[in-house]
Chains A and B, each alone.
Chain A
Amino acid sequence: GDSVTQMEGPVTLSEEAFLTINCTYTATGYPSLFWYVQYPGEGLQLLLKATKADDKGSNKGFEATYRKETTSFHLEKGSVQVSDSAVYFCALSWNTGNQFYFGTGTSLTVIP
């Protein structure tokens, strides 16, 4: 079945460090891929998405490229800020259904 695997956390970085959170997926075909972010005590917010292979999603300095060869959608940011501290979820969905398959989440803490 469809599934998403993302790197184990927690991740702790110093401000202005480079961030990579790995995400790979298993699916038959080419789903849409997403990164959602969850701040403490809040629901999920869409960070970025890509709907087809080789697409790059980007938002707020974060980027992720849909790689069908490696079935991956790694999240990157060149310079993290304290305000980026949150839990990040990789997910996939099929356009016709809207059911999301989420990874287990990666907790990021950025220290000044």
Chain B
Amino acid sequence: DAGVTQSPTHLIKTRGQQVTLRCSPKSGHDTVSWYQQALGQGPQFIFQYYEEEERQRGNFPDRFSGHQFPNYSSELNVNALLLGDSALYLCASSITYRGSEAFFGQGTRLTVV
């Protein structure tokens, strides 16, 4: 079992550009959540996808959007990048009806210059 895999591992983008991050959930998991972890901080919830729909959303602007595919994999898109978007982006997968445990990927380190 490969666990939760994210790509790419590292990414450098210029302010104003757009970026797409990808996540493949752990086998058997149907729910994907995305978190932003700024340097020295705890992860902050961005949104969660289940059955290809956004089910919950944290306090992030509309520049952050996502998608879930029929195979449960997911993408996080960020438009009009700001310097403050530089962070580690973590994907977590879980099984909806066993609610309380999630498995995290290693993250994508995004640097906006």
A interface, CB within 8 angstroms of B:
4, 32, 36, 41-46, 49, 51, 89, 91, 93-105
Interface set, chain B 92-107, CB cutoff 8 A to A: 92, 94, 96, 99-107
Q: Which residues of A contact B96 (CB under 8 A)?
A: 98
Interface footprint category on B: 20 to 34
Closest to B9 in A: A41
Interface set, chain B 13-33, CB cutoff 8 A to A: 31, 33
Q: List 20 extra interface pairs beyond A4-B42, A36-B104, A89-B43, CB under 8 A.
A: A32-B100, A42-B107, A43-B104, A44-B90, A44-B92, A46-B101, A49-B100, A51-B100, A93-B102, A97-B99, A98-B102, A99-B48, A99-B56, A100-B45, A100-B92, A100-B102, A102-B43, A103-B42, A104-B40, A105-B41
A95 to chain B, nearest CB (A): 4
Q: Is the CB of A43 within 8 A of B33?
A: no
Q: Is the CB of A94 within 8 A of B99?
A: yes
Q: Is the CB of B99 within 8 A of A42?
A: no
Q: Of the candidates B33, B40, B43, which one forms a contact with A98 in the assembled complex, judged by CB atoms under 8 Å apart?
A: B33
Q: Which residues of B contact A43 (CB under 8 A)?
A: 4, 90, 104-107
B109 to chain A, nearest CB (A): 9
What are 25 A-to-B residue pairs whose CB atoms are below 8 Å?
Answer: A4-B42, A43-B90, A43-B107, A44-B43, A45-B104, A49-B100, A89-B43, A93-B99, A93-B102, A94-B99, A95-B99, A97-B99, A98-B31, A98-B94, A98-B96, A98-B99, A98-B100, A99-B33, A99-B45, A99-B48, A100-B45, A102-B44, A104-B40, A104-B42, A105-B40
